[in-house]
């Protein structure tokens, strides 16, 4: 095990404690701690925020992720609308009506659910 040096060997060379420089340079330690932790004299209040930003933050607190939910409603609704369009034309063409009609009903149901959720979200906002 030539060349192996345990982690504590460096501490034993200059000092016998785990904090080698604390007793040698106490003024540096206390000076660095006081400069690192400075209490703020003024707290940020609502008067320092712009009114638009405060209103937007307050709206986000009352209804978190509203924009994300609306995006999901639009994405799922448009997907259902495209699927309904495809299955409608497949059923008009007469292709395997046993599978096409239930899929068409499912796509219409998805679109209806997304419209309902969108309107519910709008009613809750007001």
Single pTM value for the model: 0.55
- What pLDDT shows up at residue 59? 81
The answer to whether 71 and 78 are in contact (CB under 8 A) is no
Each residue's pLDDT tens digit, 49-79: 788 888 888 888 888 888 899 999 999 999 9
Each residue's pLDDT tens digit, 83-109: 999 999 999 998 889 999 999 999 999
């Amino acid at each position: 095990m030539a060349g192996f040096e345990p982690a504590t060997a460096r501490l034993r060379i200059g000092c016998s404690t785990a904090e080698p420089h604390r007793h040698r340079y106490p003024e540096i330690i206390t000076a660095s701690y006081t400069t690192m932790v400075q209490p703020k004299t003024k707290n940020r209040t609502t008067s320092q925020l712009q009114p638009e930003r405060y209103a937007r933050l307050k709206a986000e607190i009352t209804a978190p992720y509203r924009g994300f939910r609306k995006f999901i409603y639009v994405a799922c609704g448009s997907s259902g609308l495209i699927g309904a369009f495809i299955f409608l034309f497949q059923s008009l063409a007469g292709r395997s009506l046993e599978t096409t009609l239930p899929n068409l009903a499912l796509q219409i149901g998805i679109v209806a659910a997304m419209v309902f959720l969108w309107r519910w979200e709008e009613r809750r906002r007001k």
